[in-house]
């Protein structure tokens, strides 16, 4: 086993070493306060300063317009599948209709959960072709007057990433699950009504969920929406209506500061393009490995692949582990392998994986 390991987990996932080192150094005594961040009141001046800096840095990194609130919540991506209908489906004639584009496991789960609160219309699906891309927008069967359109802009399990922002009736907000690629590429926040992301992939520890919501969408909650998950209530209390996940917010804040130091999202996107190019080129070199996603929708963050001879899977994983290439086993629902190459995965890590892919294939 080498000392240097590269962790390709889909999440919880690799974090920048610099951030972990800083957190370790500040673990027992944050900035001379005599307290660990974990021990601080969320209402005290120390934690409030951590929270405000994290919020400001994220706003800057994503150029979040002034008419959007950033909420630091709990509940994860699956929690949002219920929280968002409960916050947005009160907008129109009841029961409201929500449109979904079904491009893989996560958008499928979102539609299933939404059915508990509204009518969920699957406006397009790539299931018949094995989730290998995003159905062309011309084929979407959208509902006039829908409460919103839900998309998952990066399907973590299937490795499918949108390469466009849907152009739809501007009165219908787009809700985007960006859990596994937020901050990996530049986005225009103003094109979306709500963006949400569990933190445990490209941001920080599990337990924190980011929500970016346009102001005018704070008024449409269903009466059953719990107060702790009511966007308007959470926004009015600057994410402190109840106790937020303080330590996860602190680590996320360190990651945001780190990204700013590296040149922000534009700089990360450039590196991410290069990492993905390198990895897909090795997978495509011959038919020893296979990635089944249409080239234009291949994810830059999550790269599922299969060995042509699947009887070699265990041998492949054991050899990878021996080289310090960890957590490459594919999701149980699809099998095969998956390499998640988030912001914190350095180019050298992808190069080490590529070297191993070539060696294992006997190239
Ligand atoms: C795109 C996407 N959405 C939602 C989820 C679910 O997130 P959580 O486990 O935080 O509920 C995941 C988790 O892997 C995901 O990748």
Rounded Cα distance between 86 and 111, Å, is 13
Q: Are 174 and 166 in contact (CB under 8 A)?
A: yes
Rounded Cα distance between 204 and 248, Å, is 7
User: DSSP per residue over 190-203, as a string?
Assistant: GG-SEEEEETTTTT
Rounded Cα distance between 346 and 6, Å, is 9
Nearest atom in ligand 1 to the alpha carbon of residue 178 is: 1
Q: Do domains 21-260 and 264-361 have the same CATH topology?
A: no
Query: Comparing C-alpha atoms, which of 249, 279, 245 is closest to residue 352?
Result: 279
Residue with the nearest Cα to atom 13 of ligand 1? 77
Residues of the chain with pLDDT under 70: 1-2
Q: Is the CB of 152 under 6 A from ligand 1?
A: yes
Q: Which segments of the chain are extended strands (E)?
A: 6-7, 68-73, 97-102, 119-125, 148-152, 154-155, 160-161, 174-177, 194-198, 209-214, 289-290, 302-307, 325-326, 337-340
Residue with the nearest Cα to atom 6 of ligand 1? 77
Q: pLDDT value at position 1? A: 44
Q: How far is the CA of 106 from the centre of ligand 1 (A)?
A: 7
Q: What is the CATH number of domain 264-361?
A: 3.90.1150.10
Q: How far is the CA of 360 from the centre of ligand 1 (A)?
A: 31
Residue with the nearest Cα to atom 7 of ligand 1? 77
Catalytic residue status for 106: yes
Count of beta carbons in the 10 Å neighbourhood of residue 24: 9
- Residue 114: strand, helix, or coil: helix
9, 113, 156, 207: residue to mutate for ligand 1 pocket, most atoms within 8 A of CB: 156
> Is the pTM value of this prediction over 0.95?
yes
CATH for 21-260, options being 1.10.238.10, 3.40.50.720, 3.40.640.10, 3.40.50.1100? 3.40.640.10
Residue with the nearest Cα to atom 5 of ligand 1? 77
Q: Is the CB of 189 under 6 A from ligand 1?
A: no
Catalytic one of 30, 69, 106, 329: 106
Q: Is the CB of 180 under 6 A from ligand 1?
A: yes
Q: pLDDT value at position 3? A: 76
Q: pLDDT value at position 245? A: 98
Q: Are 86 and 108 in contact (CB under 8 A)?
A: no
Q: What are the two backbone dihedrals, phi and then psi, of residue 42, each rounded to the nearest 5 degrees? A: -70, -10
Q: pLDDT value at position 244? A: 97
Q: How far is the CA of 139 from the centre of ligand 1 (A)?
A: 27
Q: Is the CB of 12 under 6 A from ligand 1?
A: no
Burial code of 305-317, b = ≥16 C-beta within 10 A, e = fewer?
bbbeeeeebeebb
Q: How do the domains of the chain map onto residue ranges?
A: 21-260, 264-361
Any binding-site annotation on 106?
Answer: yes
Q: What is the per-residue pLDDT across 186-220, written as a single tens digit (0 to 9) for each?
A: 999 999 999 999 999 999 999 999 999 999 999 99
Any binding-site annotation on 351?
Answer: no
Any binding-site annotation on 246?
Answer: no
């Amino acid at each position: 086993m080498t000392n240097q390991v590269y962790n390709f987990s889909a999440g919880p996932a690799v974090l920048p070493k610099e951030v972990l080192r800083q957190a370790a150094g500040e673990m027992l005594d944050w900035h001379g306060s005599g307290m660990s961040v974990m021990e601080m009141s969320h209402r005290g001046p120390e934690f409030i300063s951590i929270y405000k800096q994290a919020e400001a840095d994220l706003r800057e990194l994503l150029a979040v317009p002034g008419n959007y609130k950033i909420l630091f919540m709990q509940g994860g991506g699956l929690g949002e599948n219920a929280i968002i209908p409960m916050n947005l489906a009160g907008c129109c004639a009841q029961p409201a209709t929500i449109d979904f584009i079904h491009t893989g496991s996560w958008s499928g789960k979102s539609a299933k959960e939404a059915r508990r609160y509204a009518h969920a219309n699957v406006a397009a699906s790539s299931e018949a072709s094995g989730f290998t891309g995003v159905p062309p927008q011309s084929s979407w069967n959208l509902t006039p007057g829908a409460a919103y359109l839900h998309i998952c802009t990066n399907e973590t399990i299937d490795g499918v990433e949108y390469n466009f922002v849907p152009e739809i009736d501007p009165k219908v907000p787009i809700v985007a699950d960006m859990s596994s690629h937020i901050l990996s590429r530049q986005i225009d926040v103003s094109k979306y009504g709500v963006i949400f992301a569990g933190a445990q992939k490209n941001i920080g520890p599990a337990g924190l969920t980011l929500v970016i919501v346009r102001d005018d969408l704070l008024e449409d909650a269903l009466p059953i929406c719990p107060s702790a998950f009511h966007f308007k209530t959470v926004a009015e209390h600057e994410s402190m209506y109840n106790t937020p996940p303080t330590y996860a917010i602190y680590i996320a804040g360190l990651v945001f500061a780190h990204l700013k130091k590296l040149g922000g999202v534009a700089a990360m996107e450039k590196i991410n393009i290069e990492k993905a190019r390198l990895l897909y080129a090795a997978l495509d070199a011959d038919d020893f490995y296979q990635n089944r996603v249409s080239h234009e929708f291949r994810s830059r963050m999550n790269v599922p692949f299969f060995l042509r001879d699947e009887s070699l899977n265990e041998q492949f994983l054991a050899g990878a582990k021996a080289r310090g290439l960890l957590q490459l086993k594919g999701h149980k629902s699809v099998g095969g392998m998956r390499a998640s190459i988030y912001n914190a995965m350095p180019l050298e890590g992808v190069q080490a994986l590529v070297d191993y892919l070539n060696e294992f294939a006997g190239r």
